[in-house]
Amino acid sequence: MSARRTLATALRVLRQLRHDPRTVVLLLAVPCVLQVLVHELFRDRPQVFQSLGTPLLGLFPFVAMFLVTSITMLRERTSGTLERLLTTPIGRGDLLAGYALAFALVAAVQATLVSAVAFGLLGLESDHRATVVALAIANAVLGMALGLFASAFARTEFQAVQFMPAFVLPQILLCGLLVPRAQMAGWLQAVSDVLPLTYAYDALARLAGEDPFGARFRADLAVIAGATLLALALGAATLRRRTP
Amino acid sequence: MEPAVTIRGLRVVRGGREVLHGLELEVEAGRVTGLLGPSGSGKTTLMRCVVGAQVVAGGAVTVLGLPAGTPALRARVGYQTQAPSVYADLTVLENLAYAAALLGVGRERVAETVALVGLGGHERQLAATLSGGEVARLSLAQALLGRPELLVLDEPTVGLDPVLRRDLWATFHDLAGAGATLLVSSHVMDEADRCDRLLLLREGALLASGTPAELRARTGADDLDAAFLALVEGPGGTAP
């Protein structure tokens, strides 16, 4: 791994985003608008917003970074830039770390902005605001890692977009946000047990409750980190220097 | 002088079909070698083998004394893919700055290379808004940036006007004069005369190799187009 090549890759990805201001605006504005929508939806039941608001803060970056990364990486694969890159001295680790760094930065801006809206304008309460933002960034990196991996299975941008509902929606449905996991059928719980977003949601939900920092919280963090590293390793394995 | 590239018994299977059949050839160091042949003859596959991007079914490819694709070769070999591999959403300068950072070369080299491929004045233009020929030159610039010992250029002059083509071929010879080895593919025979040596590829096999003059003499043809046809159709045409 080389710090120079990692930083150069992160800078390049950020420059690509800078030339696409519409995507940047969508990335930053859409989660804020959605957060406002949720707030308005439960206007008469503020306690629902109090329990949903924090987990949603952490889930938006996950979804957004999954999509952005899977499409950016797919473009890299189909445009031939990846093939040429892999004939240069760049390591696969440099490439992935560069992507992770760039999108973690974007996620940090996104999470900070949505938090400012939720905590500042919508009256969401939390004693652990900085931890919520940090967790949102961790979720973004997880989404990015899964997106990198998913991009290996898409041949076209249409397929990559379809991976969003395929990879992400089941995780949102089963993570406990809509129906508490204890109320799910046994086999659904078992599926939910192996989906990384379940642990991300659990950690965020704990932050919204009383006394969040127990052993379960630490276990959640460990699973998020482990799943991210696993997805990055699998993603790296799909970046082949030699192709048939 | 040791050849820059030595290929022995190279076999490649793509999509269940053998596209290179036990190829044997050498690329002389410090020369411009043209890799010619009709579309589908295996030129790109052969080049991908040299840069270590192709899964091979058998044989050996030795580049600058090392097996092709060895990590140590990545900074010593420059590769221009046939389809321009540039980031359309970055400017010319941003594309080159990234390539330069990966290779560890400085800003002066970027400016020098921009001038070398005739992209001066386009530095701040988005690659997406460049013409086809300009994109091809940006792609070429990325391959030239590191001043590699071996340049593998896959149809670098497609879509360029005659003046630019002439200038680029002059650049190729300047680079070879400075000690670099160039392997340049083309499917237009009128470029063959600009090469020091030629490798004629047909259906995944080496049809002939030698200098342009040698090939003309061997076939008795006046121009290389006719020489190529004579080699394809003539008796013993399949022997190198």
Predicted confidence (pLDDT) per residue in A177-205, tens digit: 888 999 999 999 999 999 999 999 999 98
Say if residue A35's pLDDT is above 50.
Answer: yes
Cβ separation of A86 and B53 shorter than 8 Å? yes
Of all residues in chain A, the one with the smallest CA distance to B75 is A89
Q: Which residues of B touch A5 (CB under 8 A)?
A: 101-102
Cβ separation of A83 and B81 shorter than 8 Å? yes
Cβ separation of A79 and B69 shorter than 8 Å? no
Q: How many CB pairs under 8 A join A and B?
A: 79
Closest by Cβ to B52, choosing from A80, A81, A242: A242
Rounded Cα–Cα distance for residues B204 and B194 (Å): 23
Q: Which of A21, A2, A19 is nearest to B92 (CA)?
A: A19
pTM for the structure as a whole: 0.88
Rounded Cα–Cα distance for residues A242 and A83 (Å): 9
Q: Which residues of A touch B142 (CB under 8 A)?
A: 84
Cβ separation of B98 and A242 shorter than 8 Å? no
Cα A93 off chain centre by: 19
As a whole number, the mean pLDDT across chain A is 90
Q: Which residues of A touch B89 (CB under 8 A)?
A: 16, 19-20
Return left, alpha or beta for A98; rule: phi > 0 is left, psi -120 to 50 is alpha, else beta.
Answer: alpha
pLDDT band at A242 (very low <50, low <70, confident <90, very high): confident
Say if residue A101's pLDDT is above 80.
Answer: yes
Rounded Cα–Cα distance for residues B206 and B204 (Å): 7
DSSP secondary structure letters along A55-100 = HHHHHHHHHHHHHHHHHHHHHHHHSSHHHHHTTTT--HHHHHHHHH
pLDDT of residue B64: 96
Q: Which residue has the tokens 């499917």?
A: B187
Q: Which residues of A touch B144 (CB under 8 A)?
A: none
Closest by Cβ to A89, choosing from B75, B83, B85: B75
Rounded Cα–Cα distance for residues A140 and B233 (Å): 62
Residue B133 vs residues B158, B163, B188: alpha-carbon distances, Å: 7, 12, 16
Worst-scoring range by mean pLDDT, A60-64, B17-21, B69-73?
A60-64
pLDDT of residue A190: 93
Cβ separation of A88 and B85 shorter than 8 Å? no
pLDDT of residue B234: 67
Q: Which residues of B touch A99 (CB under 8 A)?
A: none
Worst-scoring range by mean pLDDT, A30-44, B58-72, B223-237?
B223-237
Residue A86 contacts B, CB cutoff 8 Å = yes
Q: Closest Cα of chain A to B203: distance in Å?
A: 18
Torsion of CA B156, B162, B163, B168, to 10 degrees: 20
* A42 DSSP assignment: T
Cβ separation of B79 and A85 shorter than 8 Å? no
CATH number belonging to domain B5-76+149-233: 3.40.50.300
- At B95, the amino acid letter reads N
Cβ neighbors of B209 (< 8 A, separation 6 or more) are B25, B197, B198, B199, B200, B240
- The model's pLDDT over B135-194, given as tens digits with 9 standing for 90+, comes to 989 999 999 999 999 999 999 988 788 888 888 899 999 999 999 999 999 877 778 889
What tokens does A82 get?
A: 């990846």
pLDDT of residue A45: 92
| Beta-sheet strand order (sheet of B77-80) | B77-80, B150-154, B181-186, B32-36, B197-202, B205-210
Rounded Cα–Cα distance for residues B157 and B150 (Å): 18
* B124 DSSP assignment: T
Provide the greatest CA pair distance for chain B.
Answer: 55
Q: Which residues of B touch A (CB under 8 A)?
A: 13-15, 51-55, 69, 71, 74-75, 77, 79, 81, 83-91, 94, 98-99, 101-104, 126, 142
Worst-scoring range by mean pLDDT, A172-176, A209-213, B95-99, B198-202?
A209-213
Contact present, B127 and B135 (Cβ < 8 Å): yes
What tokens does B221 get?
A: 């043809």
H/E segment holding residue B153: strand B150-154
pLDDT of residue B235: 57
Q: What is the mean pLDDT of residues A209-221?
A: 89
Crossing angle for the helix pair B92-103 and B132-144, to the nearest 10 degrees = 20
Cβ neighbors of A156 (< 8 A, separation 6 or more) are A74, A78
- The model's pLDDT over B194-217, given as tens digits with 9 standing for 90+, comes to 999 999 999 999 999 999 999 888
Tell me which of A5, A19, A20, A72 to substitute to probe the interface with B (most B C-beta atoms closer than 10 Å). A19
CA atoms within 13 A on the CB side of A105: 13
Domains of chain B, by residue range, sit at 5-76+149-233, 89-147
Cβ separation of B87 and A12 shorter than 8 Å? yes
Q: Which residues of A touch B87 (CB under 8 A)?
A: 12, 16, 79, 81
Rounded Cα–Cα distance for residues A110 and A32 (Å): 9
Cβ separation of B94 and A8 shorter than 8 Å? no
Q: Hey, how many other C-beta atoms are within 10 angstroms of the C-beta on B39?
A: 8
* B198 DSSP assignment: E
Cβ separation of A242 and B55 shorter than 8 Å? yes
Q: Which residues of B touch A97 (CB under 8 A)?
A: none
Q: What is the ipTM of this complex?
A: 0.86
Cβ separation of B101 and A88 shorter than 8 Å? no
Domains of chain A, by residue range, sit at 3-237
Contact present, B46 and B4 (Cβ < 8 Å): no
What are the start-end ranges of the H helices in chain A? Answer: 3-18, 21-41, 46-78, 81-85, 92-115, 129-151, 157-163, 169-174, 186-193, 196-208, 215-237
| Beta-sheet strand order (sheet of B5-14) | B17-27, B5-14, B58-63, B66-67
Q: Which residues of A touch B126 (CB under 8 A)?
A: 19
- The model's pLDDT over A108-162, given as tens digits with 9 standing for 90+, comes to 899 899 999 999 999 888 888 889 989 998 998 899 899 988 888 888 888 888 8
